[in-house]
Amino acid sequence: MNRAVFPGSFDPLTLGHTDIINRAIPLFDEIIIAIGTNAEKRYMFSIEERRKFIEKTFANNSKIKIDTYQGLTIDYCKKVESKFILRGLRNPADFEFEKAIAQTNRKLSNIETVFLLTSADNSYISSSIVRDIIRNNGDVALLVPPAVLEK
C-alpha cells in the first residue's frame, strides 16, 4: 500500500492544505493527515478542534485518515508503515527549508518526501497569516474551508 503522511500543526487547516491533500489523493492509496503536537508551542486551536476541522473537511473521503503524534515525523512514519512524507511548497524559501529536512529524513530512514507545489490561487495562504487575521477579527472566508469558519 502506498501510504503518505502529511504532517503539520494545521492551526488552522487552510485552503492551501486542502489543495495539497486533494491533489495528492490520486497519488496514494491512503493519506494520513498527522497533526503534530509540541508542548513548547502555543496553539490558537486545541488539538480536538484542529482534528474536527480536518474530519469535517474530508468526511466523505475514505482514503484520508487523521491522527496525532509527537516526536520525529520519521518515527511516526515507521510506526504507521508509511514510506512517504507529503509536503506542500508555496515559495522558494519553503523549498530550501523542506529540502534540508527531506534529505535528512531520507538519510536517517529511507523515507521519501514527495513535494507538491501549492496552486497559484493558494500560494500566499499560511496558517500564521490566517491566525493573525482571526486575532484581529478579520474575515478568513476566502482562506479556510467551511469547517474552520463554523468555529
pLDDT digit string, tens, across residues 82-97: 999 999 999 888 899 9
Q: Cα–Cα–Cα angle for 106, 2, 94, nearest 5°?
A: 45
d(CA 2, CA 112): 12
pLDDT at 51: 98
Which residues are identified as catalytic?
17, 41, 90, 127
Q: Say whether pLDDT at 151 is over 80.
A: no
d(CA 119, CA 109): 30
Instruction: Tell me the domains of the chain and their CATH numbers.
Output: 3-146 (3.40.50.620)
Confidence of residue 150 (pLDDT cuts 50, 70, 90): confident
Q: Say whether pLDDT at 39 is over 80.
A: no
